[in-house]
Each structure stands twice: as structure tokens, then as C-alpha cells.
Structure 1
Amino acid sequence: MANPEDTPKGQHFLLSPECRTLTVLDLAKMRDATAYDWFKRLRWPETEGKPYCPKCGTVRCHTMSRSRFKCTEKTCKAVFSVTSGTVFHARKLSFKKMLIAIWFSVNSVKGKAALQLSREIGVQYKTAWVLLMKLREAIAWRREEMVLDGQVEIDGKYAGGHIRPENKAEESHRPSPQEIPEHEASVRPRDPPARAGRPDEDGDAAWAAVRDHVSREATVFADEHGSYNDLAGLNKLQRVNHSKAYQTDDGTNTNQVESFFSRVQRAYVGIHHRFSLKYFDWYVAEFAWREDCRQVSNRGHTFQVLGKALSRPTSRYLCGYWQGNKPPDLIWEG
């Protein structure tokens, strides 16, 4: 993993050689056996890639055909592979193609569209869409144990949605943010990591987000929205009234979280064009991860996402998605 301190003084990290340590040419020359070895090392990092039984934990496993392993314990005899029980369960793509797909996803600054990925790696749109969503779900899991400290900003954003204008100008009106259906709230510190992914900007949701994911010693910065009034009972709270100024005379502002929301908006407009409210949480979780890892090389990004995907269980929302296994309307309540 690249060290930002090695970047020449005055040069942006994204312009430095340390940022681009893995290229598509490197992956194109890679054999599938090498990609398979990367999968094994990140699935079983404790044993440096040596497989162990997911049921009993023994390392005494016999290698079978088609990259499968069999536990030799008499009371177990489990048969498994490097992707068994992970988000890649029941895969059909080769290891090299999955690795290239992950690289294309993480190497895109504002996210990767499934239609574009399907063209780049030569698969159906459905295959690319489910693969990308499985990666986003795996990334989103990192927030469950996240606790933010220091100076933390909280704000809400209305994104997406569209009200078709009437033919005549006098019959049309500009919709207010409350009329646009897709909505996300976020809490983030002024230094990484960021946590995004609350479905509402109401008082209960904001209070629960700060209670569960912000240290009691942290200072919370918020705007004048009434949803944040009760946060004063949890943490030290500083407010800025955006109807009067972007920041107060003493420097109180929520500029960092607003900057993050601008990235979400640009991804919505320029990359995805739209995404459903049902999956909005996962998309924003991916954007937050990109924000946190902006000083990591693309090789490090690839390893991080592959490792997260191999450490998460099979998705109960996306495994068999196109066969009718649909997630609930509010996946963050699952």
C-alpha cells in the first residue's frame, strides 16, 4: 500500500506514481492461477492462503478438482471452495475476470456504472449489476462497528427523484427538496473515516446515528434544521444557520459534509444518472469508502474490496436476485 508521505512535496497524491500501482495492463497479462492465488490469500490471510475448513476450522484439507477442497476430519467432511459462503458464492465468472471487474470498479473516481462494466469485461448487464451491488453491500458492512471521534459534521441531502414539468410554464413549479423522494443523511468527521447511510433527516434518526456511531467526547456540527436540536443532550453541539451564512464568525460550518454530498450528486448525475431509493444506502456507503481511501493506491483499493467481499457471508438480498430474490424496500432496516 502506498504511503502518502512518500509523495513529493507539493504534488497531489492522485497525480503521483504511488497512486497507480496496478494497471489494467498488469491484470491483462495475469494468469487466472495468479488471480486465484490472490483470492486464497485474501480469503485465508491467517494461514497465508492455505485453506481451512469453514465449519470445523481444521487446516487438514484435501484438494479436489475444480478448485475445491474437502475437510479430512471424519466428523466433518465438508466440501468448499475459496468463494464458498462469501458474496461470490455460486460464481460463474473466472477469478481473473472478477478481479478485473473489481479493479474497474475501484479505479473509477465517482463509481462504476453496470452498463459500462458489462461492456468492459464482456458480460451481461445483469451479471455486472449484481456483482457491483454485492461489492457495495460488502463495503457497507464496515459501518456497523464504526465510531467517529473528534469534530463530526451531520447533515441531510435530498438526491435524485424527478418531477416532470408541465408543457406550459405557468402550469409548472420548481419542486422543493421535500417533494423529491430519494433522501440520505450523513455524519462524518473532518478527517476520515466518513459514515453515511441514514434513511431520514428526522430527529429520531439523527439522534440514533449520533448515539450509536459518534463518541461522546466528539463535537458535533450541524445546521439550523430542527432534527438536530436533541443532539445537545448527547454531545457538545455547535450550529450554523445557513439561511444567514455558510459559516459563523468563529468558523463553525458543515462544509466537509456538504463537499461529500456534492460528490454524491456528481456520481448520480454523471455516472449512474439515477439509482433507486431501495439501494441508495449502499451507493452512498460506497462513496463514503472512496472518500476515506482517497490516499490509497488503486492496488490497495482492489485488495481492500476483494478482502471485504471474501470476509462477508453470502448476500441474502442479492444471491438469486434475477431469479426473484428481491431485497425489502428498506435494506438498512434488515
Structure 2
Amino acid sequence: MFKGVNAIEFGKQFKTNEDCYKYLLQIKWGKRYQCSKCGCEQSYKGRTYYYRRCRSCGYDESVTANTVFHGIKMPILKAFYMVFRLTAKKKGMSTIELGNEVGVQQKTAWLFKRKLQAVMKKDKEDKLKGDVEVDETLIGGYSTDKGRSTKTKDAMFVAVEILADGRTGNIALQPIESFKSEELKYAIKDNVSSEAQIKTDAYHSYKKLAKQMKNISIEYSKKGTAMEELHKQIMQFKNWLRGTHHQCSSEYLFAYSDEYEYRFNKRNMRKWLFNDVVERLMNQIPHPYNYLKSLCVYST
């Protein structure tokens, strides 16, 4: 397993495409082989060193078959380098910068990064626990619209775990359609454990929810001072979007919120992020462009 954020050490371990395929072989078949066609657990060498041929049905399978690496339009070494750069840099990279470093078109870098963002999405059962502060915000640039209008900006649900010693635990981000109570209710259920103790401000939608959900308590925000850490996280997310990526369309806001949430919640595991992302890429189905587009439709 490769661990660390040192580019020199990465370059020592992954010099060729063969080095990368051997790494993937350990992840996919290191513990045991199982044919994806018939389930047989016996195999022998296939057409090349990174193929395995089933002894029962003869299916010759590549190490990248049935994974997100399947069908990528660049050498596997470049894909590995892109994973490393995106996980080694604390705040990530724009696809323009990434494409220039690797020597591919920005569109190619963008597509591969979208695949990484897709596997960074948390599991549905991984919800915030304990004491949780909840709020909502608007994402977007300057607008002449007054109030909390979503005509030119996007609504975002934000939740933060507050640990016993006052430090921040994990966070949850989710784009929402509006600030209506029903919309916020579903966002809370999607991201926060039913056993958590939830604190919100006095926004009228939360007051309505507090009558339905007994684990919600209302506290006046006092211009943000009552839930200071929560508002700090909102500002950091907005600064990350502007500073690293410069802009984000409404269509893909969910993808960037998934990436930010993944980075923040694994901030103490940066040395293992490369291997974690590669394993996620190996354990999910292929993500062609049409599949990624369908995720945008589903998210909205």
C-alpha cells in the first residue's frame, strides 16, 4: 500500500504502467480470485500479466474490467498521477492545472476528476452523530436579488458535529431545492443520525420542524456567534470553491460538495487517501460520461 504525500516517494514506486497494474492486481485479486462470469476461484495467466483467465469458463479478465478504471482514455500511469496529485494537495486542484501537469486536455482531466468525485461520495449509512449543529446557506456570486432567493444562487444544507471538547468532528453538505421545512427535514434525515441532538437557529422552517422532531433545539444565532464553528465551515467551503476551482455550476455543485466533505472528514488520514481512492475506484462499476450525467439528473 502506498501511503504519504511525498511526490518523490510516489515517483519511486510508480515509474511505469506496469507498476500501476501490479498495484491494482494486489487490490483486486491479492486475497483471492473470483471469476466475474461464473464465480470460479481458480485461474491462470491471461493474455498479459494484468489479465486472469478463468479455469472453468475461460473468461479472460483485465484487472481494470468492471472498475472505474475501465475505459479511461490515457495511460494508467497518468491516471495514478492524477489521483496522487488530487489527494496529496490539501485543497485539491482545478482541472486546468491538473491537465497541464499530466499533459492531457482539460476535458480529459475534468472527466477523470468527476469519476474521483463520484467515488468520494459517502455511504448513506455514514451519518453525523452526537451533538450536531445545522444551518443552510446560499452558494453563488454577487446577485442583486434580495433576501434568500434561489433564482440565481443555490441552496445548501450544512451540518457539523461538535465533539465533547469543542472541536469539530465530521461535516455534511447537501445541495437542496429550497429552504422549506420539508426540504430541510429530508436533508437532516439523509445526513444526521436520528439519535443525534440537533441545534439550529430560529429560522421559521426549523421552528416548524422542532414541533415534529423532538431532538431539535432552537438557539438564536446572534449574528453567527451562537454557532461559530458551523458558520466557519460554511465560509471555508465557499472560499475553497472560489480559491481552488474559481467557479462551480449548479449542475455539479453536488459533486464538489461531496469532494469537500470527503477531504474534510478524512483530514487526519491524508497519508492514506491515495490508496483509499484507488480502492474505491476498483470497487465500483465503470463510470462513463453518460453515467456521470445521470448522477446530475438524479441529484436535482
TM-score range, shorter chain: 0.7 to 0.9
Q: Secondary structure at the match of 1:192?
A: strand
In the TM superposition, residue 239 of structure 1 has moved relative to its aligned partner by 2.2
1:305 alignment counterpart = 277
Q: Which runs of 5+ in 1 are unaligned?
A: 2-19, 164-172, 248-252
Letter in 1 for 2:77: K
Aligned runs of 1:202-241 on 2, under 5 Å?
A: 202-232=180-210, 233-241=212-220
- Using the aligned pairs only, state the percent identity: 22
The farther-off stretch of 177-186 and 286-295 is: 177-186
Distance 1:31 1:329, change over 3 A: closer
Instruction: Kindly indicate whether residue 104 of structure 2 is the aligned counterpart of residue 123 of structure 1.
Output: yes
Distance 1:226 1:57, change over 3 A: farther
Distance 1:71 1:147, change over 3 A: same
On the 8 A contact 2:5/2:88 being kept in 1, the answer is no
Distance 2:19 2:54 in 1: 24
Q: Secondary structure at the match of 1:156?
A: strand
1:42 alignment counterpart = 27
1:292 alignment counterpart = 265
2:77 alignment counterpart = 96
Residues 192-238 of structure 1 show CA distances to partners (whole Å, capped at 9, x for unaligned) of 33222242333112211323442232110111222223432234222
Distance 1:160 1:110 in 2: 19
TM-score by length of 1: 0.77
TM-score by length of 2: 0.85
2:6 alignment counterpart = 23
Distance 1:328 1:124, change over 3 A: same
Distance 1:160 1:25, change over 3 A: same
Distance 1:313 1:208 in 2: 28
Which residue of 241, 246, 255 maps to 2:224? 246
Residues 157-185 of structure 1 show CA distances to partners (whole Å, capped at 9, x for unaligned) of 2112454xxxxxxxxx5754525322321
1:17 alignment counterpart = none
1:331 alignment counterpart = 298
The farther-off stretch of 114-123 and 177-186 is: 177-186
Distance 1:192 1:84, change over 3 A: farther
1:134 alignment counterpart = 115
Q: Secondary structure at the match of 2:230?
A: helix
Distance 2:297 2:204 in 1: 24
Letter in 1 for 2:257: V
Instruction: Supply the RMSD in Å over aligned alpha carbons.
Output: 2.6
Distance 1:24 1:328, change over 3 A: closer
Distance 1:131 1:185, change over 3 A: same
Distance 1:213 1:326 in 2: 23
On the 8 A contact 1:143/1:195 being kept in 2, the answer is no
Letter in 2 for 1:28: G
In the TM superposition, residue 265 of structure 1 has moved relative to its aligned partner by 0.9
On the 8 A contact 1:147/1:214 being kept in 2, the answer is yes
Letter in 1 for 2:97: Q
In the TM superposition, residue 27 of structure 1 has moved relative to its aligned partner by 2.2
Residues 123-180 of structure 1 show CA distances to partners (whole Å, capped at 9, x for unaligned) of 111110001010001111x2322222101121112112454xxxxxxxxx57545253
Q: Which runs of 5+ in 2 are unaligned?
A: 163-167
Paired residues, what number? 288
Which residue of 184, 188, 192 maps to 2:160? 188
Letter in 1 for 2:60: V
On the 8 A contact 1:102/1:305 being kept in 2, the answer is yes
Distance 1:35 1:186 in 2: 38
On the 8 A contact 2:87/2:274 being kept in 1, the answer is yes
Q: Secondary structure at the match of 1:73?
A: coil
Which residue of 233, 249, 253 maps to 1:280? 253
Distance 1:135 1:69 in 2: 26
On the 8 A contact 2:51/2:60 being kept in 1, the answer is yes
1:166 alignment counterpart = none
